[in-house]
Chain A
């Protein structure tokens, strides 16, 4: 796991209010309030992180606190001691024992498009097609 390579590290004491976007690995161990959008790379919500944002990334690993909807075109991993409050839309999901999740999960194959949102989730703003 080379999270640091050319990526971004938001350290423990850092607070960002606003929009974060990019196309590289992002490791958050601080606070973000707003939105996080990665068009490439992996988003890691570190054990000390407090993220209050809708996040979107090809790959997401959560070890800390995430308050917001999560959308991924790939894999989402919720590790032990993570806490997610929000809906998850992804292709694959792994939840480790000890993770806390409160929200709906919608997993679909990579060939399925976001348009055919199932009735269970259609009211969620996360799943509106863009």
Chain B
């Protein structure tokens, strides 16, 4: 049963909620986890990071997880890995990855072989194709959702499944 939000109890500023899913590796950039040390240590970090002040215009691809706290315009292609758009991240790009976590702003279509997660402070404008999706209370979302279970018949999600809505152009 839905309970309407209590007025004045807008959950936008709630801190990270405890998730039932195991975010074992965390969503913070590798930089935050590994102690800053020599350049050699940087190469061992599993997660690539695009920092706050950085702007990338073009295509990003590869096979490692990526944390974006800056701006990316273009396309992001990391099949098999996770893309995390940090609180300061602004992405105007189509994203294709195994897992997409949005804490910042994304304009573009998101295709995830596993899951898409939009946190309460996140915003996503675009169509989503994923096996699983979670949209936290307070998050902004505009677009279509197509939940495709791996190897299974889709459209099982019932009303949540939107076949086709106008795609969002991923431009600045």
Restricting to A22-49, which residues have a CB under 8 Å from any CB of B?
A: 22-27, 29-30, 34, 40, 44, 46-48
Q: Separation in Å of the A107 CB from the closest CB of chain B?
A: 24
Residues of A within 8 A of B62 (CB): 11, 13-15, 30
A4-B36, A6-B31 are known contacts. Are A17 and B58 too (CB-CB below 8 A)? yes
Residues of A within 8 A of B59 (CB): 15-18
Contacting residue for A9 out of B38, B48, B58, B63, CB 8 A: B48
Whether the pair B55, A22 counts as a contact (CB closer than 8 A) is: yes
Nearest residue, chain A, Cβ from B29: A9
Residues of A within 8 A of B29 (CB): 9
Restricting to B6-44, which residues have a CB under 8 Å from any CB of A?
A: 29-31, 34, 36-39, 41-43
Whether a CB of chain B sits under 8 angstroms from the CB of A125 is: no
State the total of A-B contacts with C-beta under 8 angstroms. Answer: 115
Q: Separation in Å of the B26 CB from the closest CB of chain A?
A: 15
Whether the pair B31, A19 counts as a contact (CB closer than 8 A) is: no
A22-B70, A30-B48 are known contacts. Are A14 and B56 too (CB-CB below 8 A)? no
Residues of B within 8 A of A48 (CB): 43
Whether a CB of chain B sits under 8 angstroms from the CB of A2 is: yes
Whether the pair B74, A18 counts as a contact (CB closer than 8 A) is: yes
A22-B70, A27-B39 are known contacts. Are A4 and B57 too (CB-CB below 8 A)? no
Whether a CB of chain A sits under 8 angstroms from the CB of B52 is: yes
Nearest residue, chain B, Cβ from A10: B48
Whether the pair A12, B50 counts as a contact (CB closer than 8 A) is: no
Q: Separation in Å of the A120 CB from the closest CB of chain B?
A: 32
Whether a CB of chain A sits under 8 angstroms from the CB of B53 is: yes
A13-B64, A15-B61 are known contacts. Are A4 and B55 too (CB-CB below 8 A)? no
Residues of B within 8 A of A61 (CB): 39
Contacting residue for B36 out of A2, A19, A46, CB 8 A: A2
Residues of A within 8 A of B57 (CB): 18-20
Whether a CB of chain A sits under 8 angstroms from the CB of B47 is: yes
Restricting to B47-90, which residues have a CB under 8 Å from any CB of A?
A: 47-64, 66, 70, 74
Residues of A within 8 A of B51 (CB): 6-8, 22, 24-26
A17-B58, A26-B54 are known contacts. Are A12 and B43 too (CB-CB below 8 A)? yes
How far apart sit A22 and B60, CA to CA, in the bound complex (Å)? 16
How far apart sit A6 and B46, CA to CA, in the bound complex (Å)? 16
Residues of A within 8 A of B38 (CB): 1, 3
Nearest residue, chain A, Cβ from B55: A21
How far apart sit A100 and B75, CA to CA, in the bound complex (Å)? 34
Q: Separation in Å of the A96 CB from the closest CB of chain B?
A: 14
Whether the pair A11, B61 counts as a contact (CB closer than 8 A) is: no
The 5 A-B pairs with the shortest beta carbon distances in the complex, nearest first, are A18-B58, A22-B54, A11-B48, A14-B62, A8-B51
8 contacts between A and B (CB under 8 A): A5-B36, A13-B62, A16-B60, A19-B55, A20-B57, A27-B39, A40-B53, A48-B43
